[in-house]
C-alpha cells in the first residue's frame, strides 16, 4: 500500500543531518577543485618551458631542441625543420640562439615567472621566464595543441 501523508515515516533528524553534511562536503570539494583547476590552468605550459630550460642548464641542447619542436625523434628527420616553412629553424640556428654564444649566454639559472594568454589569441600560452637573473625577461609561446615552443608574438619577446 502506498505511503500517504497519514502513513509517512517519522522524521529522522540524524538522517537529514548526514544528507546535508554529504551535500556540503560534495559542494565544497567541487568548489576547491574548480579553484585549483583555475589556479593551475597554465601549469602544463609552465612545466614544458621549465623542462626546456632545465635541458639548457645541463647543456643538453639536442634534448632542448626536441622539447622546442616537440619531436623526440627530430634527429632522424632533421630536414623537416629546415624545409618546412613554419619552422625554418634548424638545430644549427637553434644552437646559435640558445647555446653558450647566444644572446643569453650559458644558461645557469632560470625562473618561470608567470603564464597567460594574449587577448584574441587562444591557440597558445605566453610563458614569462627570467634567465640568469636578468632584468629582461623572455616571453615564450607554447602552442596548446602541438606543445611546440617559439618566441611569443610580442615585440622583443626572445
CA distance 120 to 51: 27
In a domain, 17, yes or no: no
In a domain, 34, yes or no: no
In a domain, 158, yes or no: no
In a domain, 24, yes or no: no
Tens digit of pLDDT for each residue in 76-92?
Answer: 887 777 655 455 788 88
Write out the three cell numbers for 52: 626546456
Sheet holding 121-131, edge to edge: 110-118, 121-131, 138-143, 149-151
Q: Which domain holds residue 80?
A: 43-151
Tens digit of pLDDT for each residue in 24-75?
Answer: 999 999 999 999 999 999 999 999 999 999 999 999 999 999 999 999 988 8
In a domain, 49, yes or no: yes
In a domain, 27, yes or no: no
Name, in order, each residue with C-beta under 8 angstroms of 93's C-beta and a sequence gap of 6 or more: none
Q: Does position 137 have pLDDT exceeding 70, yes or no?
A: yes
In a domain, 2, yes or no: no
pTM above 0.85, yes or no: no
Average pLDDT, the chain: 88
In a domain, 21, yes or no: no
CA distances from 74 to 33, 53, 138 (A): 38, 18, 25
Write out the three cell numbers for 67: 622539447
> How many separate domains does the chain show?
1
Amino acid at each position: 500500500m502506498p505511503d500517504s501523508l497519514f502513513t509517512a515515516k517519522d522524521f529522522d533528524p540524524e538522517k537529514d543531518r548526514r544528507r546535508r553534511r554529504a551535500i556540503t562536503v560534495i559542494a565544497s570539494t567541487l568548489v576547491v577543485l574548480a579553484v585549483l583547476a583555475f589556479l593551475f590552468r597554465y601549469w602544463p605550459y609552465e612545466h614544458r618551458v621549465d623542462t626546456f630550460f632545465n635541458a639548457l642548464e645541463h647543456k643538453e641542447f639536442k634534448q632542448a631542441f626536441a622539447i622546442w619542436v616537440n619531436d623526440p625523434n627530430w634527429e632522424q628527420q632533421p630536414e623537416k625543420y629546415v624545409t618546412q616553412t613554419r619552422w625554418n629553424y634548424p638545430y644549427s640556428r637553434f644552437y646559435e640562439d640558445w647555446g653558450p654564444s647566444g644572446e643569453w649566454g650559458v644558461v645557469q639559472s632560470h625562473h618561470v615567472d608567470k603564464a597567460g594568454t594574449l587577448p584574441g589569441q587562444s591557440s597558445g600560452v605566453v610563458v614569462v621566464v627570467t634567465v640568469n637573473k636578468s632584468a629582461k625577461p623572455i616571453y615564450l609561446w607554447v602552442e596548446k595543441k602541438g606543445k611546440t615552443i617559439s618566441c611569443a608574438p610580442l615585440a622583443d619577446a626572445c
